[in-house]
């Protein structure tokens, strides 16, 4: 395998900050703003204890005032007036690779998870941030290939974990076959190995099984993954099959991964009785800490303890994300890490 100039960092590598987009009246959060804004305040305030926060919002001052009241470290927070359709920066924020050691921002196309939702503003957000100087001097590369950050997991050493349901589906890059999609990932991200998951899903998930809702690469060749042991739950067979797939995967050195199952939160439903995609796998790794979504559930404490086993050197902090799943996402989905060397 030839040496590649590009490397996709692991999320646990050192970061400059985290990107967030604020919920507002013109997003699908409009009916739930009173419930969800405190969640965004807590996420931003908690991150600001450890690193910087870059926020997209229609207006600066109302957001800044809410964050001040929430006790955020305002010297670490920058708010940019950039329009967005929604708040899921994991999927439309820039994916940063290191090209010969220097950061390069990849602005992949975002089509609203396969043309399910409007995405015209979101698809331009990274470019607008870059034009404003919010992302420093690192160059940005516009790419016609559709790829969302939540659909890939990197170990920082050339391996990517993803799902066939998302990347090989007909609503992202229908003109490309699997081999061509793999070539695009190799070329753009500098990865050598792609681990494909063919099983696993969450009811209520609009992303076509993003991997960050199901299984996460962690340090020391560890995989944290959702696990359902309730035979009466209709997720049972699919998640059991996913666990068997994960057992068959091998590291770059040919060894099995250390697999750690996450607990299964109680079923949550919206007001129409539709199941919501509650998952503990949607955690965010930042400098010195891991933020874990909680759901006012009996298994919240168990999930925090499980995550600690994979990240023994970091503070593990629960964030109440029950309001977030009302729009079918969670903590990792509304954040995008910005690796070291990017922010001015």
Q: Please compute, for residue 275, the number of CA atoms within 13 A of its CA located in the half-sphere on the CB side.
A: 14
pLDDT number for residue 4: 75
Residue at 143 is within a domain = yes
**pLDDT digit string, tens, across residues 95-126:** 999 999 999 999 999 999 999 999 999 999 99
pLDDT score for 22 = 98
- CATH code at position 227: 3.75.10.10
pTM equals 0.97
By C-alpha distance, which of 238, 54, 226 is closest to 130? 54
Alpha-carbon gap, residue 338 to 322, rounded angstroms: 25
Q: What is the mean pLDDT of residues 69-94?
A: 98
For residue 214, pLDDT over 60 is answered with yes
Q: Is 91 inside a domain boundary? A: yes
Cβ atoms of residues 6 and 99 within 8 Å:
yes
- Which H or E run includes 60? helix 60-69
Does a structural domain hold residue 1? no
41 is catalytic: no
Q: Using 50, 70 and 90 to split pLDDT, how confident is the model at 196?
A: very high
43 band by pLDDT with thresholds 50, 70 and 90: very high
Active-site entry in 41, 218, 321, 333 = 333
pLDDT at 71 over 90: yes
- Give me the mean pLDDT over the 54-73 stretch: 98
User: Which residues are within 8 A (CB) of 57 and not within 5 positions of it... i.e. 6 or more apart?
Assistant: 21, 22, 24, 63, 79, 80, 81, 82
Q: Is residue 344 part of a domain?
A: no
Q: Establish if 296 belongs to a structural domain.
A: yes
240 within some domain: yes
Q: Report, as an integer, the average pLDDT of 192-208.
A: 97
Percent pLDDT > 90 in the chain is 99
pLDDT category, 1, cuts 50, 70, 90?
Answer: very low
Percent of the chain with pLDDT over 70: 99
Please state the domain count of the chain.
1
Band of pLDDT at residue 150, cut at 50, 70 and 90? very high
Region 323-333: what's the mean pLDDT?
98
Note down the domain range covering 46: 6-339
Task: Determine the Cα–Cα distance for residues 39 and 32; give it in Å rounded to an integer.
Answer: 11
Q: What is the mean pLDDT of residues 156-182?
A: 97
Q: Which of 53, 63, 44, 48 is CA-nearest to residue 17? A: 53
Q: In the prediction, which pLDDT does 2 show?
A: 46
pLDDT computed for residue 286 by the predictor: 98
**What is the spatial distance between Cα 289 and Cα 311, in angstroms, rounded to a whole number?**
8
Q: Is residue 43 domain-resident? A: yes
Query: Does residue 154 lie within any of the structural domains?
Result: yes
Q: Given this model, what pLDDT does residue 3 score? A: 55
């Amino acid at each position: 395998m030839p040496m590649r100039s590009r490397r996709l960092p692991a999320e646990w590598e050192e970061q400059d900050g985290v990107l967030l987009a604020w919920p507002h009246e013109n997003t699908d959060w409009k009916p739930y703003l009173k419930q969800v804004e405190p969640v965004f305040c807590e996420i931003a305030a908690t991150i600001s204890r450890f690193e910087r926060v870059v926020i997209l919002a229609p207006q600066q001052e109302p957001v800044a005032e809410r964050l001040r009241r929430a006790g955020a470290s305002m010297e670490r927070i920058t708010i940019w007036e950039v329009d967005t359709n929604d708040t899921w920066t994991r999927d439309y924020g820039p994916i940063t690779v290191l090209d010969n050691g220097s950061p390069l921002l990849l602005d992949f196309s975002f089509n609203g998870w396969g043309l399910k939702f409007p995405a015209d503003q979101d698809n331009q957000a990274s470019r607008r941030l870059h034009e404003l100087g919010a992302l420093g001097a690192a160059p940005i590369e516009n790419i016609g290939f559709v790829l969302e950050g939540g659909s890939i997991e990197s170990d920082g050493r050339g391996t990517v974990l993803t799902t066939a349901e998302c990347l090989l589906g007909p609503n992202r890059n229908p003109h490309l076959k699997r081999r061509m999609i793999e070539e695009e990932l190799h070329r753009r991200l500098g990865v050598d190995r792609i681990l494909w998951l063919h099983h696993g899903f969450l009811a209520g998930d609009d992303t076509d099984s993003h991997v960050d809702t199901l299984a996460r690469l962690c340090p020391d060749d560890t995989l944290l993954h959702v696990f359902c042991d309730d035979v009466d739950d209709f997720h049972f067979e699919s998640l059991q099959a996913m666990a068997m797939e994960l057992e068959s995967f091998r590291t770059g050195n040919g060894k099995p991964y250390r697999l750690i199952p996450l607990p299964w939160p109680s079923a949550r439903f919206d007001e129409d009785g539709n199941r919501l995609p509650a998952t503990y796998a949607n955690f965010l790794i930042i400098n010195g800490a891991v933020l874990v979504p909680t759901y006012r559930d009996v298994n919240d404490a168990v999930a925090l303890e499980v995550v600690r086993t994979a990240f023994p050197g970091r503070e593990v902090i629960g964030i109440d994300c029950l309001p977030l799943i009302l729009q079918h996402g969670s903590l990792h989905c509304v954040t995008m890490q910005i690796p070291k060397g990017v922010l001015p």
